[in-house]
Structure 1
Amino acid sequence: MISKKVVLIDGHSILNRAFYGVPILTNSEGLHTNGIYGFLNIMFKAIEEEKAETLIVAFDLKAPTFRHKMYGAYKGTRKPMPQELHEQVPVLKEVLQAMEIPIVTKEGYEADDILGSLSRIYEEQGCDVTVISGDRDLLQLATEKVKISIPKTKAGGTQVENYYAEDVLKTYQVTPTQFIDLKALMGDASDNIPGVPGIGEKTATKIITAYGSIEEAHAHVDDIKPARAANNLREHYDMAVMSKKLAAIDTHAPIEIPDTSAGLENMYSQSAYQMMKRLEFKNILNRFDQENVAVPVLSAAVELTDRNEQQQKIFEAMSRPMFSAYPICEDGLWGLVMAYDDKCFWMPTKSADDLNGMAGWFDGHPDMAVMDLKERLHYFPLKESDNVLDISLMAYLLNPLKDSYDYDDIARDYLGMTLPSRADLYGKKKLSEIFSEDRTKALTWLGYYASLPLKAAPELRAALEKENMWELYREIELPLSFSLYRMEIAGIRVEREALREYGDHLVGRIQELEQEIYALAGEEFNILSPKQLGTILFEKLHLPYGKKTKTGYSTSASVLEKLQDEKPIARLVLEYRQLTKLKSTYADGLANFISEDERIHGKFHQTITATGRISSTEPNLQNIPVRVELGRRIRKVFVPKDGCVFVDADYSQIELRVLAHMSGDENLIEAYKQAEDIHRMTASQVFHTPLEEVTSQQRSNAKAVNFGIIYGISSFGLSQGLSITRKEAEVYIKQYFAAYPKIKDFLDGLVAEGKEKGSVYTLFHRKRPIPELFSSNFMQRSFGERVAMNSPIQGTAADIIKIAMIHVDRRLREEGLKSRLVLQIHDELLIEAAMDEVETVKQILHDEMSHAAKLKVPLEIDINTGTDWYEAK
């Protein structure tokens, strides 16, 4: 018989190993997928490395096996698998079935019995067999033709240990057959194999290498050393015999070999592709031939070239109740693809300016479905309208935990359709390349971008209305897109020379710090190397708090902060890290983003954070360090244009005020109404000290408690932050809740709501799903509880600042002012104000920010002006 290569996989074992080896993943349905993802990657690697022609996966059934029934033991007493893993088992089987990979189970037999029997059968047929399992029991199956492969996750990667019969002997000093006796003597609690009491691996190995089997060892029991092992074997010989029978894999189980005539040719089928799309395994999708699995285009894309005809088609679209449009401006290719009814049109233009001008034809349009509205506005500047249906933004509101809201994601999540993404179809090719290579394929892809919004928008709107989030979209997120677009267009001016001087100043201080650190260390080393720094601090200098990990000592900021008050070197290293980051990220990095107009036009994103906060990139201006004076000074390089000053407005303690409102705690509300120093008052309540006698340290500690409560801080976290004992921190928190009794009820209620509904909500009905609350892992559940406490507060604060900036931006334009909004940094708005408009701008900021939301406590705003951002702040 012609020899071929067979790969057999232990389904549950490899899924279990993958589950614990791959970080937690979930798809849009909330299904955990990390085990499946890891399993598939191990499977693909095995197929490729082994050049497999046949692949079979074996699974256990829940019923006890014949041999465990016979001897009164049952592997089913193992610790039950976590729910996050349990839910992946049937889905993995679905995936394998879609890939037409045979699955074998047998009532009364374990997977290792199936694998043992199949390996014997295939070996007898002259095949080379590889058995993949995380269970070392299977080493007993190793022969010259049967290889046992055991994947192991090390340092984030998967390594494989391979064992033929000679490898088992070399590693364990016993043959594969003797490996059964070895395990029988040692026992294995996880498999309910009792073994012989008092005999461990080392002694068991000596006995089996000396006598070959349990039976021979018992026949020479008087010669066994040590005497204790001999006595134990003599006394428990019957248990050893039973253990051997339990440990032995049945290689003659009545297994029917599945039909494998198709080999692995049908693995990448359309049904398998749909499963991978559902599971959101984007890397695995690259393995598929997109031409064979792609769903036909939703609408026929027709190229139009005559400009008059284009305008006619646009007006036809605008006569419908809804249409969709997607402008293209990249790589020298410009145009508009749009759809209405069952029609889809591609309208190329000669230039970006022509495309820009087309936007004017859409004035007064009906419901218009688009994707990524803010990004499109940069070359298709539509007039602000509440008739725009941005399906990416709508999908984000419905599930803010995803990392992508492209057309294929939305098609899968809301229409039950499987569409190939652009990356699936064309990889990293530019759109102009796609057009030149295959215009029909390019138009197919554009058809997705036009047709999908038209079909998905009604579904998404209905879902938002059902979730009570339609007003959130219409009144906050949609108009915010236009405000953010205008902010990006405006940009903020940067003085190049001041930035260079700032960098030079940093270099000088960094060099000073280097020499001071070297002097304290007694040698030069790479300060930014955690490994070298750990060696210096904890081995050479013998500093406390040394915690060794697999890669060396931890030198995290939290460790150094513990040391900084006692050891100067820790304080200096912290400052060194901060300044080197400032140098690379800001002094050097900002220069790369300064445009020809001497302004930085950063990007502001609406669909990144789960809480609803706006994020900033290219560069990130929301993450400028403020703890270090040199960090704050970077703001000096940001200046207004000539004839203007900066007006900076910042909410005061907005999250604490939101907490007061949402909790309804009368004590906290009254404190804000009386304009008390909230931290001083909290210190008075917590430490039972008259208000006028509160010390600065007590106020500082109370401030940490106030803000810590918002983030669901634990006694451990508070003790670390304040450098106090955990017991003291527990007292602080207990006294805090005694002072503000409704806050604890409110926070507990948020956790309960999260567990009941799976999500928590802001005052404006923004949804924050929390799948971690249902994790079997304690740390994950604890994290979920903190998220449940914090998200409604932080999210409500984010909603309020969004409302404020929309209204401020609108007022500046409606009143015809030259001043404009240039930055939003969390709770802060920065206006570049014309000199003669400063007082008007201040009044607008005060009016709109203080009235952005009606709370039970006043919204206080700090407003400052300056000739640079540092001075204004």
Structure 2
Amino acid sequence: MLGLKKLVLVDGNSIAYRAFFALPLLNNEKGVYTNAIYGFTTMVLKILEDEKPTHMLVAFDAGKTTFRHETYKEYKGKREKTPPELAEQLPVMRDLLKAFNIPLFEVENYEADDIIGTLSQKVANKDDYEVKIYTGDKDLLQLVTKNVLVSLTRKGITNVDTYDLSLVDEKYGITPMQIIDMKGLMGDSSDNIPGVPGVGEKTALKLLKQYESVEGVYHSIDEIAGKLKEKLQANHEQALMSKKLATIMLDAPVDLSLEDLILGDPHQETLTELFKELEFSSLLERIGSSDAVEQEEVEDLDVRVVSEVTEEMLESPAALVVEALDENYHQAEVIGLSIANKNGLYYLPTTVALESDLFKTWASDASKEKYIFNAKRAVVALGWQDVMLDGVIFDIQIASYLIDPSANSHEMADIAKRKKSLKVQSDEVIYGKGKKQHIPEQSNLSQHLGRKVAAIFDLKEELENELIDNSQQELFENLEMPLSVILGRMEMNGVSVDQEELKKMGESLVERLADMEKKIHHLAGTEFNINSPKQLGEVLFEKLNLPVIKKTKTGYSTSADVLEKLQDEHEMIPTILHYRQLGKLNSTYIEGLLKVIHKKTGKIHTIFNQAITQTGRLSSTEPNLQNIPIRLEEGRKIRHAFVPEKEKSFIFAADYSQIELRVLAHISQDENLKQAFINEMDVHKKTAMDVFGVEEDDVTDQMRRTAKAVNFGIVYGISDYGLSQNLGITRKEAKKFIDRYFQSYPGVKDYMESVVDEAREKGYVTTMLNRRRYLPELTSKNFNQRSFAERTAMNTPIQGSAADIIKKAMVDMAEALENENMTSKLLLQVHDELIFEVPEEELTQMKKLVPDVMEQAIKLDVPLLADVAYGETWYDAK
């Protein structure tokens, strides 16, 4: 073989583990877990695409015991057993490698590292070979030479740092072979290599830079003083043994020649079938499969491209597609429309549709029934073109979301694929993405929109029947469908923003940050980059000698939870925490909000996501107006910039009081909790009385705060550990609080236990309005996943029912405003709060109407309570 040859060696077990823990637990329709397989496959594809190897091998560990266990029985002894969800995926990975025609190998009594070390040694000094090793294990850095590079996985799966001789030197200041000595001295907890207790990486590197090796350290032991000398002397044999354990074999019995590692062509048919079975449709194009949606010859449909709108094409019921290319469709233009009905498929160029009075009349006619995908987006896209959309009775996206909220995607192409409908290509395939995004020629565009609209028309009946079977038709028709139109109109309306006020806030924050920076530098006694975790860590833990709470692979952890634990250790820490909060406020919210103010309207038009969260809650993006941090006064002040659009109007806020606890009282039917709300007691004070065993007058503010944390913790299925972390108390104390809570509210305990049992039997939980959430992890053998599913089973009926109630209130308010012929507008929904713009003349009426409607949204066995407030800005409406 002429020219430079490239050998790629992959640490199979390491990459498989990394993939499993990097991705959420996924499974295909048959219930086969696929997350590790998917991550592993994307890494293999990236290697093939980026490296273009001539030779390749994936090495696996052959078993649990190796020759190293003869030296030290406890080698790797602390490793947890392979999760069964991962174990069942490993054989499929091997099948995939065989389909790729990539050699794989294992040797009894040896590890994958030894196979890789032996093979890399074979070509380490051959100038016509380049070797690249892929792993997540730093031990393999000892194999780096001028011709052997090691790519270490970083965050996720496919992000890697590639080490050559210079990078090893830059990171550690030692040679690759000295990695073995470093491990000998400091040990390796992941492999249970003991090393010298009390010697960490920093000390080990310092010793090696001076004495070169473990043997060199002991040869010069008399030059070392103090406790370090004592530690080294007491663990001489252990250090040598640890070095031996960390040494990768370079002459393992690997009966393979370089010819055996030549990379052949993949077995395309087998690979394609495996990808299809695993439902890796997004990867089919990358293997050049003719079955990829992106590559396949999709059926050409009889789509009539029209130059004039006629009654025939508008006959109802009809499916409608309104295509706006940009994700932020407030900024986008409609690029085309399509209609499907019993008469056929029609493609309407934008100008044909939007200049037709016949189309506009039909679009706004509520009696003309329309099926659609993402009605909200269509309402907004047409709204920006001054076309009103009404009469939408079925939304494919919302139906899919209600039927299975845990599905990975509710995009049109994915829904069609899941339902075995007409094949629809993904938008990314047709339009590209990023800088490559483009509008295709009309023949391709008309076919794409034709397939979409045909699939909508085809799927409507099937999805409708599934909703009926799930008892979700009322939820769909009376709540989610009308809500989609309401949300669309809220997005169109937007929220007025005082740009100058925002800019002033930003300038003020920048000045404060500069002052705080000077203060921090003064307290630290040195100047450094406060935003650099590395520099901050060095100042805190080396210069100031603060206790090290946690270390990461890259050094000292300076995360918020670490700094919070150090607040009493140095007066600089609270200032750093505040500095970070203000910095995020400025960059994320002040600067971020200024960037998304619409050029034409001067408003912010957030996008409400109706089909994302599994609890049914709405989320907000571009920008997220639900997450403005109001616990911090500086964050709360950002709401000063949100103002009424019209003069003599107010921002009017209404929020439910303790809605989740009221829902819990209703669902659990706990008499004590119900009576607390019925008698209008302070429920947190009532819980404090029960938990602490005191009379009402003896409840302190701290007791009430603790009781509040317990109340809301119970709603979220909190553990004694979680509560102890929230309150800064011991687990034993936290357990006592929880036990006393359940003694006071036995109905809540019965509910928590029964809902988990029922969910385990059915496979899902439901809200009061029959919203479902599937929880396959309830039967997982993995304790953490099973525990999470149990907490989710407890919480979802409560949180999901609260979400349903606020949505119902939005629908009822829209109807009430229309019936009363009022001009007040609903602007935002923020969790349990509704924000309106109200003209002065309607203020008195709204103060009565809003709480009346919200409190009657749904009938509970305890009263719903809505508090209202108003002011000249959102900040003042409190």
Q: TM-score, normalised by structure 2?
A: 0.77
- Give, in whole Å, the separation in 1 of the partners of 2:539 and 2:119: 56
Look up the equivalent residue of 2:393 and give its one-letter code: N
Q: Output the amino acid matched with 1:690.
A: E
Change in CA separation of 1:45 and 1:306 when aligned onto 2, cut-off 3 Å = closer
2:810 matches 1:805: yes
Structure 1 counterpart SS, 2:521: helix
Question: Counterpart in 1 of 2:684?
Answer: 679
1:444-843 equivalence runs, <5 A: 444-544=447-547, 546-564=549-567, 567-592=570-595, 593-637=597-641, 638-843=643-848
1:373 pairs with one of 365, 371, 375: 375
Distance in 2 between residues matched to 1:50 and 1:329, nearest whole Å:
35
**Which residue identity is paired with 2:312?**
Q
Contact 1:531/1:552 (<8 A) preserved: yes
Kindly provide the amino acid, as one letter, of the partner of residue 636 in structure 1. Answer: H
CA–CA distance in 2 between the matches of 1:35 and 1:249? 28
Q: Is the 8 A contact 2:319 2:370 kept in 1?
A: yes
Select the structure of larger CA radius of gyration: 1
Tell me what 2:205 maps to. Answer: none
* CA positional deviation for 1:160: 7.2
Q: CA deviation at 1:820?
A: 1.1
Q: CA separation of 1:372/1:91 partners in 2, compared to 1, >3 Å: closer, same or farther?
A: farther
For the pair 1:43 / 2:44, whether they are aligned, the reply is: yes
Q: 1:54 to 1:247 in 2, by over 3 A?
A: closer
Match of 2:349, SS? strand
Change in 2 beyond 3 A, CA 1:4/1:549: closer
Question: Distance between the aligned counterparts of 2:294 and 2:495, measured in 1?
Answer: 47
Mark the CA change 1:158 to 1:596 in structure 2 (over 3 Å): closer, same or farther: closer
CA contact (8 A) 1:19 1:85 kept: no
Post-superposition CA distance 1:423-458 (Å, at most 9, x none):
2344227999443xx443333322332222223333
Quote the sequence identity (%): 39
Counterpart CA distance in 2 for 1:38 and 1:559 is 31
2:546–2:569 contact (8 Å) kept in structure 1: no
Distance (whole Å) between structure 1 residues aligned to residue 52 and residue 756 of structure 2: 51
CA displacement 1:93-121 (0-9 Å, x = unmatched): 665576577889999999999999999xx
Give yes or no for contact 2:606–2:622 (8 Å, CA) kept in 1. Answer: yes
Task: Assess if the C-alpha contact under 8 Å between 2:334 and 2:381 holds in 1.
Answer: no
How many residue pairs align between the two structures?
820
Task: Report the Cα distance in structure 2 between the residues aligned to 1:90 and 1:412, rounded to whole angstroms.
Answer: 27
Give me the whole-angstrom Cα distance separating, in 2, the residues matched to 1:625 and 1:804: 25
Partner Cα distance (2:563, 2:262) in 1:
62
Q: Does 1:325 align with 2:329?
A: no
CA distance in structure 1 between the aligned counterparts of 2:587 and 2:162, rounded to whole angstroms: 40
2:281 and 2:292 in contact (8 A); partners too: no
What amino acid sits opposite 1:766 in the alignment?
R
Note the alpha carbon deviations across 1:574-626, whole angstroms, 9 max, x for none.
Answer: 22222222222333332231544443222111122221111112222111111
- What is the aligned partner in structure 2 of residue 167 from structure 1? none
Q: Determine which of 832, 852, 856 is the counterpart of 1:847.
A: 852
Which secondary structure does the structure 2 equivalent of 1:658 belong to?
Answer: helix
Q: Distance in 2 between matches of 1:514 and 1:693?
A: 44
In structure 2, the CA distance between the partners of 1:42 and 1:596, relative to structure 1 (3 Å rule), is: closer
CA separation in 2, counterparts of 1:416 and 1:15? Answer: 36
Distance change in 2, residues 1:574/1:754 (3 Å): farther
- Aligned match of 1:336: 337
Verify the 8 A CA contact 1:640 1:867 in the aligned structure 2.
no
CA-CA distance at 1:60 after TM superposition: 9.7
Is residue 431–residue 438 contact of structure 2 (8 Å, CA) maintained in 1?
no
| 1:422-461 to 2 correspondences below 5 Å | 422-428=427-433, 433-435=438-440, 438-461=441-464
**Structure 1 pair 595–659 and aligned structure 2 pair: CA distance change class (3 A):** farther
Kept in 2, the 8 Å contact 1:21–1:153? The answer is no
1:793-852 CA-to-partner distances (Å, cap 9, x unmatched) read 111111100000111012112221111111111101112112221222222212211011
Q: Taking structure 1 as reference, are residues 285 and 274 closer, same or farther at Cα in structure 2, changes over 3 Å only?
A: farther
- 2:197 matched to which residue of 1? none
> What is the alpha-carbon root mean square deviation over aligned residues?
5.7
Unaligned runs of 5+ in 1: 68-76, 164-169, 174-189, 192-204, 208-228, 231-245
SS of match in other structure, 2:355: helix
Report what 2:313 is aligned to.
313
Retained in 2: the 8 A contact 1:294–1:420?
Answer: no
| 3-state DSSP of counterpart to 1:415 | coil
Cα separation, partners in 2 of 1:550 and 1:564, compared to 1, 3 Å: same
Map 1:161-560 to 2 at 5 A. Answer: 264=266, 266=268, 271=273, 274=276, 278=280, 280-281=282-283, 285=286, 294-298=295-299, 300-309=301-310, 311-315=311-315, 318=316, 323-328=319-324, 334-340=335-341, 343-350=344-351, 353-354=354-355, 358-362=359-363, 363=365, 368-380=370-382, 383-385=389-391, 387-388=393-394, 390-402=395-407, 404-415=409-420, 419-428=424-433, 433-435=438-440, 438-544=441-547, 546-560=549-563
User: Gaps spanning 5+ residues in structure 2: where?
Assistant: 68-76, 166-174, 179-189, 192-212, 216-235, 238-248, 327-331
SS across alignment from 2:870: strand
**Paired residues of 1:299 and 1:447 also in contact (CA < 8 A):** no
Amino acid aligned to 1:313: M
Change in 2 beyond 3 A, CA 1:338/1:98: farther
Shift of 1:486: 1.3
CA separation of 1:18/1:357 partners in 2, compared to 1, >3 Å: closer, same or farther? farther
| Aligned 8 A contact 2:651 2:877 in 1 | yes
Q: CA deviation at 1:856?
A: 1.3
**In 2, are the aligned partners of 1:63 and 1:107 still within 8 Å (CA)?**
no
In the alignment, the residues of structure 1 paired with residue 870 and residue 668 of structure 2 have an alpha-carbon distance, to the nearest angstrom, of: 35
Q: Distance in 2 between matches of 1:573 and 1:63?
A: 47
| C-alpha distance in 1 between matches for 2:575 and 2:119 | 64
Question: Partners in 1 of 2:301 and 2:666 — Cα distance?
Answer: 54
Q: Secondary structure at the match of 1:482?
A: helix
Residue 270 of structure 1 deviates from its aligned partner by 5.8
In 2 relative to 1, CA 356–526 (structure 1 residues): closer, same or farther, beyond 3 Å?
farther
Distance 1:525 1:260 in 2: 50
* TM-score, length basis structure 1: 0.77
* 1:159 to partner: Cα distance: 5.8
Mean alpha-carbon deviation: is it higher for 101-110 or for 358-367? Answer: 101-110
Counterpart of 1:71? none
Q: 1:760 to 1:9 in 2, by over 3 A?
A: farther
Displacement of 1:367 after TM fit?
5.4
Verify the 8 A CA contact 2:479 2:808 in the aligned structure 1.
yes
Change (3 A) 1:332 1:650: closer
CA contact 1:665–1:743 (8 Å) conserved in 2 = yes
The structural deviation recorded for 1:858 is 0.5
Paired with 2:56 and 2:567, the residues of 1 have a C-alpha distance of 58
Deviates more, 1:859-868 or 1:748-757: 748-757
Over 3 Å counting, the alpha-carbon distance change for 1:781 and 1:417 in structure 2 is: farther
Cα offset, 1:696, TM superposition: 1.5
| Aligned counterpart, 1:196 | none
